[in-house]
Amino acid sequence: MAIIKKTIQNLKPGKQYLLTVKSKNADVNATLDPASAIRFVVPTDATQPQDLGNLVIVGNYKSIMISFNPSNEADLRGYNYEVYLPESIQQSGSSYVIISGQTPYLSGFSASNVITVDVPSNTESTNAINSNTGVTTTTTTEKIYFARVQSIDTSGNKSSWTPIVASTATTLIDSAHIIDLTASKITAGTIGAHTITLAGGTSVIKSSTFDGVDVGGGSYANASTGWLINGSGRAYFYDATIAGSIDIGGFDSGSFHVDSEGNLWLGSGTLVNAPFKVLKEGDVTAKTLTLTGVTELSTDPSSNAKIYLGNGNYNNTDTPFYVDNTSKFSLGDKLTWDGVTLSVRGNIKLADGTDAINADDAETIANTAIDGLESDIYTDGFIGGLTINATKLYYGAGSFGASNTAFYVAKNLSTGQADFSLGNKLTWDGSTLNIVGNVVITAGSTLDAINNASSTANTANTTATTAYSTAISAQGIAITAESKADNAQDDADSAYALAETKITAGEVVTTINGGSTTISGDKITTGTLNADRISGGTITASISMNSAAFNGGSININNNFRVDTSGTVQCRNITVDSGLSYRGESFASSGDTTTARIQQLSGVQRITQPSSTRDIKKNIQDISGALEIVKALKPRTFNFNEAYYGEIDPSTEEPWTSQARELHQLFSSYGFIVEEVQEVNPQLVTYAPTELGSFDLSTWKPKMWKDLEMIAILTKAVQELSARIEDLESRP
């Protein structure tokens, strides 16, 4: 039989393979059964790859390009590279070395021998090489980078790093004339110039946020953000803060000025002689003031707000007009109102233009009128239905306490007291007040006295009621105490009798869950039997579980709690008292709404029935940032170690064989590492105690990532990614 040799290529070093062969009948195009499989391991490659050469680095302000001779290794995986700034490098002779403790500015892996990497925009090199190393220092107009590379094969073997190579300095343009520079060519940085001249009225310099609408003629409208300056001399700022002064219109009569202290004035003069000015303290000076709206004075008395002409003195000839926030008003000293009295000096004209009485003669005329009425003031009279005479005043028929006299008051000639009545409902004859109807008192000391009396009466009633109730309760307590005393005496007599006999023989009959059970007295060898506990000794009894609660060794309470002979417990809920714990083995890891299972939620183990209805939830909110969570997760492939499977092979349910263990390691699993999931989001991880039954949450460790919660995160991430795709597809 000939020996057939076959070369198998591209096998991975350090990996295990299974190999089998089978023969083929070419005449009938059929294959025979394969021979037995053999397992072999490809030896690990420990050969160090050859060093790389001809390293060149070229840099600018946007990117760095590194090139070198490619490696000839057959199992080459790629190249590692490191880029350093001059601050991390020092010169040693004709070579460069890395200063101790310095880290690369840029580093990474590439499958190609030509590597291009972007330069971060916020980093600048100010020196070509560290100034303390003796290397010539360059200026800020140059940038130099240093790099080294090494190769790595598929077995992880690495070549030596190449010597560090420096790039040629990239020089900035210090001063130059550029004939044409478009804004699209300036992507970042700073523009410095002595003068920027715009090329006409239509040219502009503006911020990227300016949103004003061009209305023609170099004018814009409706700007809500940003700023703009155009060649026609107009500037637009949505919001501007100016620390210095402002001059608008030059310094002619129509110019407008604001100085750095906040004073405002108009005209070509200074602040002192300006025709119109507003001082920083709030004072306004103007030659003419026309008010077309409401003028308000402060209602705060301490502000002393006022409007006046002249020197600002109330009731004074040097102030033609005066009004303030205390309601004082005056026209010179001729017309004044102090808030109580209106005073007039001079003549008063009526509406028809005729002279009214002189204000100075008003008092005299009034006194004369009163003197003319004095002779009639005590005579009988009648005013609008109200009768007044020398002895009484009334409205109606004029009888005291009569229903046809609505109001009556008079002097009682016999008693000398006043008689008073309101019809026949309220009468006062000088000694007695009679009231027909209800009396309602809403305030005053009388109302307080009535309320106090009512409160005192209510308190007394409550006290009496409480005392009566206490007496009834005391009677009941006394009767109960007497009964308990009798029962205690009976118990003492029974205990004494039991102590005398020491229960050396006989029977003690008790009731357990409704069924009678007999315990032989000779089975109690020692100890104390109390009403609520058994202290010391040994008590043995043969209990027959044939009552309603015991059935053939099983416990069944109303079909809500069952313990059968196999040790299975069935119940609706389990409550663990403080200080206690529970544990269980082989609980179902999944189940429907009728099958209980162990669920781990936020670090607390509990038995639950899964449900997802809205009525059992609160604080319902949308998930945010799901795509970032998914991007941070690290899906892994792995093999479980021997401790995971235990001593029994799950495929054969028999003890592991060495061959079975080796074959099982060839199959990889997919999933996550729970510690890595915890770093991304601890809420996606369940926890378990390090000691069985421990409720000290500080000792619990991550156990498993939550597969059900992960479904919601993945769903939201797909939705966020779909929204981004739809947005990109909708763009022109």
**451 vs 29: which has the higher pLDDT:** 451
Name the one residue in this structure whose structure tokens are 């294959």. Answer: 31
Higher-pLDDT residue of 259 and 30 is 259
Which domain CATH number covers 160?
2.60.40.10
- pLDDT at position 525 is 52
Q: Is residue 720 part of a domain?
A: yes
Residue 401 binned pLDDT confidence (cut-offs 50, 70, 90):
confident
Instruction: Kindly state the tokens that stand for 728.
Output: 């990109």
Q: Percentage of residues in the chain with pLDDT exceeding 90?
A: 17
In a domain, 343, yes or no: no
Spatial distance between the Cα atoms of 235 and 152, rounded to a whole number of angstroms? 61
How much is the pLDDT for 219?
84
Q: Does residue 66 register a pLDDT over 50?
A: yes
pLDDT at 507: 45
DSSP conformational letter for 431 = S
Instruction: Name the one residue in this structure whose structure tokens are 């939201």.
Output: 716
What per-residue confidence (pLDDT) applies to 365? 59
Identify whether residues 650 and 703 lie together within a single domain. yes
Quick one: CA torsion of 153, 154, 157, 160, rounded to 10 degrees?
20
Residues 386 and 462 in one domain: no
- Give the pLDDT of residue 260: 82
Show which of 406, 435, 464 is a domain's final residue. Answer: 435
For residues 669 and 611, which has the higher predicted lDDT (pLDDT)? 669
If asked whether residues 628 and 711 sit together in one domain, one would say yes
The range of the structural domain enclosing residue 677 comes to 600-612+622-725
Quick one: pLDDT at residue 679?
A: 94
Q: 33: Cβ–Cβ under 8 A, 6 or more apart, which residues?
A: 22
Per-residue pLDDT of 435-445, as tens digits, reads: 888 877 777 78
Q: pLDDT digit string (tens) for 128-175?
A: 444 444 443 344 446 789 999 999 988 889 999 999 999 877 655 555
Higher pLDDT, 495 or 328: 328
Same-domain pairing of 71 and 144: yes
Residue 252 has pLDDT above 70, yes or no: yes
Residues 585-606 have a mean pLDDT of 45
Question: Within this chain, do residues 402 and 471 fall inside the same structural domain, yes or no?
Answer: no
Q: Provide the pLDDT confidence category of residue 356 given band limits of 50, 70 and 90.
A: low
Mean pLDDT in residue range 21-37: 69
Sheet holding 306-309, edge to edge: 306-309, 321-324, 329-331, 335-337, 342-344
Q: Residue 407 — very low, low, confident or very high, per pLDDT cuts 50/70/90?
A: confident
471 lies in the same domain as 421:
no
What pLDDT, on the 0 to 100 scale, is given for residue 144?
86
Residue 506 has pLDDT above 70, yes or no: no
Does 40 reside within a domain?
Answer: no
Rounded distance between C-alpha atoms, residue 33 and residue 95, angstroms? 66
More confident residue, 347 or 89: 89
Percentages of the chain per state (helix, strand, coil), in multiples of 5: 20, 30, 50
> Mean pLDDT throughout 275-304?
80
- Cβ pair 85, 129 in contact under 8 A: no
Query: 64 lies in a domain?
Result: yes
- More confident site: 573 or 37: 37
- The beta-carbon contacts of 174-177 under 8 Å, at least 24 apart in sequence, are 174/141
Least confident of 526-540, 633-647, 656-670, 706-720: 526-540
**Residue of higher predicted confidence among 580 and 613:** 613
Q: Is the pLDDT of residue 60 over 60?
A: yes
> Cα separation of 118 and 99, whole Å?
24
**Is residue 579 situated within a structural domain?**
no
> Which letter, b or e, does each residue of 413-435 get, where b requires 16 or more Cβ atoms within 10 Å of its Cβ?
eeeeeebbbbbeeebbbeeeeee
Q: Of 247-261, 595-609, 702-716, which range is least confident?
A: 595-609
Reported as a single tens digit per residue, the pLDDT across 695-707 is 677 788 898 999 8
108 & 161 share domain: yes
* 336 has pLDDT over 80: yes
Q: Which residue, among 269, 45, 67, has the nearest Cα to 154 in the 3D structure?
A: 45
Structural domain total, the chain: 4
75 and 134 within one domain:
yes
Q: Among 120, 141, 171, which residue terminates a domain? A: 171
* pLDDT value, residue 97: 93
- In 3D space, the residue among 685, 702, 689, 686 whose CA is nearest the CA of residue 582 turns out to be 689
Least confident of 140-149, 347-356, 366-375, 544-553: 544-553
Residues 401 and 493 both lie in one domain: no
Report for 463-472, 531-540, 595-604: range of highest mean pLDDT? 463-472
Single-letter amino acid code for the residue at 78:
G
| Whether residue 723 has pLDDT greater than 70 | yes
| CA separation for the pair 136, 120 (Å, rounded) | 25
* Chain segment 37-48, per-residue pLDDT in tens: 888 887 877 888
For the chain, how long is the longest CA-to-CA vector? 168
Tell me what pLDDT residue 675 has. 94
DSSP state at residue 719: H
Q: Would you say residue 16 has pLDDT above 80?
A: yes
Q: Which of 137, 209, 165 is nearest to 59 (CA)?
A: 165
pLDDT at residue 672 above 90?
yes
Specify if 75 maps to a domain: yes
Average pLDDT, the chain: 75
**Distance between CA 667 and CA 683 in Å, rounded?**
30
Q: For residues 631 and 724, give the distance between their C-alpha atoms in angstroms, rounded to a whole number.
A: 15
Cβ–Cβ under 8 Å, residues 401 and 407: no
Q: Is residue 575 scored above 70 in pLDDT?
A: no
Instruction: Check whether residue 430 and residue 459 sit in a common domain.
Output: no
More confident residue, 150 or 592: 150
pTM of this structure: 0.27
Rounded distance between C-alpha atoms, residue 571 and residue 568, angstroms: 10
pLDDT at 604 over 50: no
DSSP β-bridge partners for residue 512: 515
Task: Let me know whether 607 and 665 are in one domain.
Answer: yes
Domain boundary at 141, 156, 171, which? Answer: 171
Q: Model confidence over 526-568: pLDDT tens digits?
A: 554 443 444 444 444 444 434 444 555 566 666 667 777 666 7
pLDDT at residue number 546: 41
Residue 426 domain flag:
yes
Highest mean pLDDT among 447-456, 591-600, 717-726: 717-726
Comparing 434 with 124, the larger pLDDT belongs to 434
User: Where are the extended beta strands (E) located within 146-297?
Assistant: 146-153, 165-166, 170-171, 204-206, 213-216, 219-221, 227-230, 235-237, 246-248, 256-258, 264-266, 276-278, 284-286
Task: Specify if 707 maps to a domain.
Answer: yes
Contact 164, 84 (CB under 8 A): yes
Whether residue 429 sits in one domain with residue 467: no
